[in-house]
Chains A and B, each alone.
Chain A
Amino acid sequence: MLASVWFVLWGLLWAVYFMLGGFDLGLGIMQPFVARSEQDRRMIGQAMGPYWNGNEVWLIAAGGVTFAAFPTTYAVMFSGLYSALMLILFGLILRGVALEFRHQSGSGAWKSLWDACLVVGSFLPAFLLGVAFANIFQGLPIDQDGVFRGTLWTLLNPYGLLGGLLFLLLFMEHGTLWLAVKTTGALHERAGQWAKGLWWALAATAVGFLIATWYATRLYANYLQNPMLFSVPIVLIPVVTVAALFGIRLFAAKNRWGRAWIASAVTIVGATFFGVIGLYPNMLPSNLNPTYSLTVHNAASSPLTLKIMLVVAVIFVPVVIAYQSWAYKLFHHKVSEEDLAYEEAYGKQIPPVVSSNG
C-alpha cells in the first residue's frame, strides 16, 4: 500500500518536472527559431531566468525519490540507461551555465558559444527523457540480476525515437506558449505563430504515439486487465489529456495564451500519468522475461523508510509549492525593456527602493 502511494508520488514528481522543466527546455530549443535579434535572445533568457533553477530541482527530487523509495529501480534505471543519462546530465550542465554566463561578457563570440550550449543542452534532455520513458513503457532488456543487456542504440528503436519526438514537441509547444505569455510585440506574435504551427505536428505525433503504444507496449492491456483498479484513471486520464491537447489549439486560436499554456501543462502531466499508471505495478518491465521486471513491490524501500519519506513529503512538498508559486507570481509580469536594462545594470549602482511595490 505504502509502496503504491510512493509509486503515484514518483509519477507525480516526474510529471511536475516535465511540466515545469518542460517549458524552459522547450524554450531553449526554440530560441534560434523565434529570436531574430540580440534583444529577442535576451528577452528569451529573461523569460526563463527566474525559473529554470527552481524547475530543475523537481528533476533532482524525482531522482532522489527514485533513489529513496525504489532503490532497485534507481540502480537499474540509471545504470542501464547510462549513456543516455550522461548525455542528459551534460546537456543540463551546459544549458544551466549558458543561462548564467551568457550575459557576463559583451563579446559576440562569447554569446554565440553559450547560445549554442543552450540549444544543444536543452535538446538533449528533452529528447532523451522521451526516449527513456518510451523505452520504459515498452520494456527494457533486464536480466534476472537486474543487469541491462543493451546499449544506447538499444534505446533508439522506432518506438523510443517516437517517444523522444513526442517529448520534444510537447516541450517546444510548452516553451513557445510560455514565451507568448511572457512577451509583447513582434516576439510575442512570432511565438504565437510558432505555437499554432507546432500544435499540428504535436497532435499528429501524439496520435501516432497512442497508436504505436497499442502495438509496442502492454499499457492498454494492463488498463483493460485491471478495470477496477484503473476505473478512474482509464476514464479520466486519456479524456482529460486529449481534451487538454485540443484545448491548447482552441485557446491559442483565441489568443488566450495563459490558458493555452495551462492546457499544455495538463497535457504533459496527463501524458506522463497515462504512461506511468499504465505500468503499474511494474516500474521497469523486462522484455526478456516478465518475471525479471522490477515492480512496486520488489524494488521498494523498507516500510520504515517509506513512512519517514512520506512524512517529509507531506510536510515539505506543500511548503515548496507555496513558495514556488509565490516566486512565479512575483515574476508574473511580462518581460520588458526594463528587465533588460536591469540585467545590464547588474553589478552597477542602482537606486535603492523607496517603497516596495511588486
Chain B
Amino acid sequence: MDALLLSRLQFAAATYFHFLFVPLTLGLSILIAIMETRYARSGDEEYRNMARFWGKIFLINFAVGVVTGITLEFQFGTNWSRYSRYVGDIFGSLLAIEATAAFFLESTFIAVWALTWNRLSAKAHAVTIWLVAFASNLSAVWILTANAWMQHPVGYTIRAGRAELTDFFAVVTQPFAWHTILHTLSGAYILSGMFVMGVSAYHLLRRQHVRFFSRSFRMGTVMALIFSVVAVVHGHVQGSEVAKAQPTKLAAMESLWETKQRAPQYLVVIPDEKGERNRLELGAMPGVLSLLAYHDVNATVKGLKDFPKEDRPPVTITFVAFRIMIGLGFLFPVLALWAFWKRNRLLESPRLLKVMLYAIPLPYIASQAGWTVTEVGRQPWVVYGVMRTADAVSPIAPSQVAVSLTAFVVVYSLLGLAAFYLMARHAKQGPAVDVAAS
C-alpha cells in the first residue's frame, strides 16, 4: 500500500472515531444547560440532579472528543502537507479562528463547570454550561465552514502555486456552508435527543426514577422531534445545493449513470460500478429526482457517464451510505412523533420505550453514513474541482504511515471501549439516590 491509501485510511479512521463523540457534545450540552436554567429559575432540585447525571456522561464523552480532535488538526500537516501548503491560506485560517474564538472558551469553561457545582451560584453555574454549549456549537460552525470550503471553494484565486484568499466574507457566508452547518447540527441534536430518550427508556422500563427520567425523556423528545423535522425538510434544500455545486456527488448518491430529462427516483437500486449501470432498478417515480434536485420535474440530471472516469467518486459506497442516511432520516421524525404522542403515558407504552432504547445507535449510524456521503462523494477531489486527493498527500514513507495507522486503530479501539463502557455503566447506574428520600 502507498502513503496515499494509508493516509486516507488513517484520516477516515480518525474522523469517524472523532465524530462518534462530537454530536452528543453539541446537543447534550444544550440539554444540560436547559436543565440547569430550569433549576436556577425554579429551584427544583430534580433539575439539578438531572444536570449532574447527564453531565457526567457528557464529561466522559467530551474527554474523548477533545483528545481525538487534536490529531485531526495535526494530520493535515503530517499526512496532507501538499494540501496544507496549497490551501493553508484559507483553510488554515478557519481552523486557527476556531481555536482562538471557540475552542479556548469551551475548554476553559468545561473545567470551570465540572468543578464548581458547590462553589458557584445556580445562575452562575448555568452560565458556565451555556458558555460550553455555545462554544462547542460555534466551534462546529467554524470547522464545518472549513469543510464546506473543501466541498465548494469560493472567495479565492490561484496565485504563486497555491490558493489564496480574496474574499473572506464569501467563505464564511456562502450558502453551502450554512446548509452544511444546519444539517450537521440538526443531526447532532437528533442524536443527543434520542440518546437521552434511549437511556431514559432503559430506566422507565424498570420503573425506577420515574419522574426524573420522564422529564429527561420529554426534553430529549422535543429536541429530537424539532430537529428530525428540520433535517428532513432542510435535507431536501441541501440536496438541490449539492446538485448545483457537486453534480458528480449527486449522480453517485443516486447511482445515476445516464443523463436523463425527467429523471426518476427508484425505490430499489443495485449499482454495478464495473458495468457502469444498475443491475436492478425497481419502483420508478418519474421526474422525482429532477424535482428533488432542481425543483422541476422536467429538469435534466447529468449521469455519471457524462463525467470523465477520473472525475467520478466511488459510486457504491456513496450510494449505499446515502440510502442509509435517508432511510434513517425519515425514520427519526416518525419515532420522535410517536414518542411525543405518548409523552405523558410513558409507563403505559413499553413498546415505545423498548424501541427507543434499541434506537440509540441509529443516529450514530446515520451521522457516520452522512459523512461518508459528504467525503467519499467528494472524491477524487480533496478540494472539489481544485485539488485532487492524490496530489494532496505528504511526501512521506509508507512505512511511517503504516505504523501510525496501526497505532491509531489499536489505541482508538481501546479508548472507544473504555469510553462506551464508562458511559454505559454510568447510564445504567442512574442518578444517585435522593438524600431527602433516603
Contacts and interface: CB of A to CB of B under 8 A. Distances in A.
A57 B107 contact: yes
B99 A57 contact: yes
Given A79-B77, A304-B164, A356-B121, A309 B103 contact: no
A243 B77 CA distance: 37
B316 interface: no
B280 to A, nearest CB: 45
Interface stretch (B24-32, B81-89, B178-186, B226-234): B81-89
A78 B407 contact: no
Interface residues of A, number: 74
Interface stretch (A89-97, A160-168, A196-204, A252-260): A89-97
Interface string B393-410: 011110010011001000
Interface in A325-358: 327, 330-331, 342, 346-353, 355-358
B111 A51 contact: yes
Contacts of B431: 347
Given A64-B98, A71-B92, A353-B118, A327 B112 contact: yes
B119 A75 contact: no
Looking at A74, A351, A355, which has the most chain B CB atoms within 10 Å of its CB? A74
Contacts of A64: 73, 92, 95-96, 98-100
A316 interface: yes
Contact of B73 (A63, A105, A305): A63
A352 B81 contact: no
B78 A78 contact: yes
Interface string B201-224: 000000000000000000000000
A53 B49 contact: no
Contacts of B403: 83
A124 to B, nearest CB: 12
**Contact size class for B?**
35 or more
A313 B101 CA distance: 9
Contact of A53 (B107, B422, B432): B107
Contacts of B67: 92-93, 96-97
Contact of B116 (A330, A347, A355): A330
B165 A305 contact: yes
Nearest to A302: B164
B71 to A, nearest CB: 5
Contacts of B79: 79
Contacts of A79: 77-79, 81, 394-396
A76 interface: yes
Interface in A94-125: 94, 96-97, 100-101, 104-105
Nearest to A350: B118
B348 interface: no
Contacts of A308: 93, 165, 168
A148 B124 CA distance: 51
Contacts of B418: 97, 101
A30 to B, nearest CB: 21
A309 B93 contact: yes
A304 B96 contact: no
A57 B67 CA distance: 11
Nearest to A89: B71
A60 B70 contact: yes
Looking at A54, A96, A145, A323, which has the most chain B CB atoms within 10 Å of its CB? A54
Nearest to A96: B67
B8 interface: no
Q: A-side binding surface: helix, strand, loop or mixed?
A: helix
B84 A67 contact: yes
B93 A305 contact: yes
A86 interface: yes
Given A71-B88, A301-B93, A327-B111, A316 B77 contact: no
B77 A327 contact: no
Contacts of A302: 89, 159, 164-165
Contacts, number: 238
B115 interface: yes
B9 interface: no
Interface in B382-438: 394-397, 400, 403-404, 407, 411, 415, 418, 422, 426, 431-435
B309 to A, nearest CB: 30
Contacts of B63: 96-97, 100-101
Interface in A22-77: 49-51, 53-54, 56-57, 59-61, 63-72, 74-77
A61 B101 CA distance: 10
Given A53-B111, A100-B59, A352 B104 contact: no
Interface string B33-44: 000000000000
Contacts of B78: 78-79, 82, 85-86
Contacts of A49: 111, 115
A312 interface: yes
B219 to A, nearest CB: 19
B53 A347 contact: yes
A1 interface: no
Contacts of B346: none
A317 interface: yes
B110 interface: yes
Contacts of A69: 92, 96
B116 A349 contact: no
A320 interface: yes
B120 interface: yes
A61 B104 contact: yes
Among all A-B residue pairs, the 8 with the closest Cβ atoms: A71-B88, A78-B77, A67-B92, A64-B96, A79-B81, A75-B81, A356-B121, A68-B96
Given A63-B73, A301-B88, A305-B164, 4 more contacts: A63-B77, A70-B88, A82-B400, A342-B115
14 contacts: A53-B66, A57-B103, A57-B108, A61-B96, A63-B73, A66-B77, A72-B85, A74-B92, A82-B394, A83-B400, A93-B71, A93-B411, A104-B422, A302-B159
